[in-house]
Chain A
Amino acid sequence: DQQVKQNSPSLSVQEGRISILNCDYTNSMFDYFLWYKKYPAEGPTFLISISSIKDKNEDGRFTVFLNKSAKHLSLHIVPSQPGDSAVYFCAASASGTGNQFYFGTGTSLTVIP
């Protein structure tokens, strides 16, 4: 069963606007969350992470928000740029699982110039 879910397979946003990508999880033991970005014909690359002791982490144009009570996290990209067009994967991990990540199905973001 999918423990990490990304219910929006795709998202289109105008350049300069905000992109919001959502992720839900079911396992309350998850305490670390990551976003990976994937371009076609390449492997996923790490983008940003957040620990469960925080509710927000910011890195430049990218901010991840965590709502533990709702088991929900989101990635905000502001402002969106055409180079941000990629597939974004949400991932989660739990203490004691040896750095094992559970990934979602991905959201394909298209930023329209």
Chain B
Amino acid sequence: DAGVIQSPRHEVTEMGQEVTLRCKPISGHNSLFWYRQTMMRGLELLIYFNNNVPIDDSGMPEDRFSAKMPNASFSTLKIQPSEPRDSAVYFCASSSPAGFSYNEQFFGPGTRLTVL
């Protein structure tokens, strides 16, 4: 299996521009998570989906952030308009159905976003 795939790996943009981050989860996984890593807050959960449905988006910082999962194999995180304080590494992770126990989350390599 190729693991969780994220694109692009690096993104440099100017303030005010729209940014779209993409994620392909591991086939068969039904949960998908978007995280943001910063020095101050570590790994913050932004939003997660179960079976393509957003379950908890309370971590999305502002209305400028939005996420979609149109099908089981693709998700996007969009920032519009972007601001310098959005600069961070964004991770996507997926996991198989938890059932009665917890399942580890598998992370992608991340997208390093720099907003100038």
Interface residues in chain A, defined as those with a beta carbon under 8 Å from any beta carbon in chain B:
2, 6, 32, 34, 36, 41-46, 49, 89, 91, 93, 98-106
Given the interface pairs A98-B55, A104-B42, the reply to whether A34 lies near B50 with Cβ below 8 Å is no
Interface of A is mostly: loop
Bitwise interface map of B from 29 to 42 toward A, beta carbon under 8 Å scored 1, else 0: 00101010001111
Q: Are A43 and B108 in contact (CB-based, < 8 A)? A: yes
Interchain residue pairs A-B with the least CB separation, the first 4 = A43-B107, A105-B42, A103-B43, A99-B98
Tell me the complex Cα distance, A55–B44, Å. 27
A43 to B92, CA, bound (A): 9
Bound: A101/B31 CA distance, A: 12
Instruction: Please state if A45 and B50 are interface contacts (CB–CB under 8 Å).
Output: no
**B35 / chain A contacts, CB cutoff of 8 Å:** 103
What are 27 A-B contacts with C-beta separation under 8 Å?
A34-B104, A41-B109, A43-B91, A44-B91, A45-B107, A46-B106, A89-B42, A98-B50, A99-B31, A99-B98, A99-B102, A99-B105, A100-B33, A100-B45, A100-B48, A101-B33, A101-B45, A102-B45, A103-B42, A103-B43, A103-B44, A103-B45, A104-B42, A104-B43, A105-B39, A105-B40, A105-B41
Does chain A have a CB within 8 A of B95? yes
- Is B26 in contact with chain A by the CB < 8 A criterion? no
B21 close to A (CB within 8 Å): no
- CB distance A6 to B42 under 8 Å? yes
| With A43-B107, A43-B110: A98-B98 Cβ-Cβ less than 8 Å | yes
Count contacts between A and B, CB distance < 8 Å.
64
| B109 touching A49, Cβ below 8 Å | no
The reply to whether the CB of B14 lies closer than 8 angstroms to some CB of chain A is no
How many angstroms between the C-alpha atoms of A42 and B9 in the bound complex?
10
Contacting residues of chain B (69-116) with chain A, CB-CB under 8 angstroms: 91, 93, 95, 98, 102-110
| B67 in contact (CB, < 8 A) | no
Q: Write out the residue numbers on chain A whose beta carbons fall within 8 Å of the beta carbon of B55.
A: 98
